[in-house]
């Protein structure tokens, strides 16, 4: 049986500091450490302005820390040029944001295929991979639709499929259900559960305890620091209730 300690460390953040250009306020991040292994699902929670999204951007190489180090798959992101970081992101990181940001002039199949096209995959191979994801994620009925014809939940499911296009080592999701109604949010979380069951590593920012309860581990942030981190485990016949209870404890900490 493979345990968490047997799995390799995929992502490592050490002593991250980030202060924005104005410099007038407190740092956005103050000495944040985080480790993610293959197959982990980590939820990052905390009040608005606590540094959650800033942390996610640093983990994915969208921004550079003022101090500290981020290593993805053994590569120090801080030692790469912007061009090299962009290439690494395209191949190894899938992003899902609060709003799907699909290209309106492309249909669902083409939107999903876009990341592969950006790294030079041929049109036919990219389309084949896109169709594979559509089938695997139950999106085939909307394959030919355009973004304007989709509900918010459908758009977000397509955005997740797009994030998986290049077989990334890591999916980073920033409030993936934040703009959705309850039913659509449940659909997106169900999709994330399926992806995670296949061994995908996920780091997800969320305000919603019900969403965070799907993760294996919750990191709580406040004022740019990590104030609590706990593994969520089920110990009775209703694991969802057990994890929600743990999250209530976290919220009351």
pLDDT bracket for residue 233 (50, 70, 90)? low
Q: Is pLDDT larger for residue 137 or for residue 122? A: 122
Asked if residue 179 has pLDDT above 60, the reply is yes
Asked if residue 250 has pLDDT above 70, the reply is no
pLDDT tens digits, one per residue of 20-53: 866 567 889 999 999 999 999 999 998 888 999 9
DSSP secondary structure, 18-32, as one string: E--TT--S--SEEEE
Distance CA 53, CA 44 (A): 9
Instruction: Tokens for 136, please give them.
Output: 């695997």
Average pLDDT of the chain is 87
Distance CA 15, CA 62 (A): 18
User: What number is the average pLDDT over the span 220-248?
Assistant: 71
pLDDT bracket for residue 235 (50, 70, 90)? very low
**Alpha helices per DSSP H over the chain:** 52-59, 82-92, 108-118, 123-136, 152-163, 182-197, 209-212, 239-251
Asked if residue 214 has pLDDT above 60, the reply is yes
Domain ranges across the chain: 4-103+152-251
CATH superfamily of 4-103+152-251: P-loop containing nucleotide triphosphate hydrolases (3.40.50.300)
User: What number is the average pLDDT over the span 53-71?
Assistant: 93
pTM score of the predicted model:
0.87
């Amino acid at each position: 049986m493979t345990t968490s300690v047997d799995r390799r460390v995929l992502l490592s953040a050490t002593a991250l500091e980030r202060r924005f250009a104005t410099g007038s306020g407190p740092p956005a991040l103050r000495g944040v450490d985080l480790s993610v292994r293959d197959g982990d699902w980590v939820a990052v929670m905390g009040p608005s302005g606590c540094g959650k999204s800033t942390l996610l951007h640093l983990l994915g190489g969208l921004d550079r820390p003022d101090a500290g180090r981020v290593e993805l798959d053994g590569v120090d992101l801080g030692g790469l040029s912007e061009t090299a970081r962009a290439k690494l992101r395209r191949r190894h990181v899938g992003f899902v944001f609060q709003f799907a940001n699909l290209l309106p002039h492309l249909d669902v199949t083409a939107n999903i295929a876009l990341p592969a096209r950006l790294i030079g995959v041929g049109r036919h191979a990219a389309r084949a991979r896109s169709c594979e994801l559509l089938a695997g994620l139950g999106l085939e009925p909307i394959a030919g639709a355009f973004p304007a014809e989709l509900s918010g939940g459908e758009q977000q499911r397509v955005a997740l499929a797009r994030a998986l296009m290049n077989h990334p080592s890591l999916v980073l999701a920033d409030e993936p259900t934040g703009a959705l109604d309850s039913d659509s949010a449940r659909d997106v979380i169900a999709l994330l559960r399926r992806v995670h069951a296949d061994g995908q590593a996920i780091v997800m920012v969320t305000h919603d305890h019900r969403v965070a309860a799907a993760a294996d581990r919750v990191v709580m942030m406040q004022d740019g620091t990590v104030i609590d981190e706990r593994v969520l485990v089920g110990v009775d016949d209703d694991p969802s209730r057990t994890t929600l209870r743990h999250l209530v404890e976290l919220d009351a900490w």
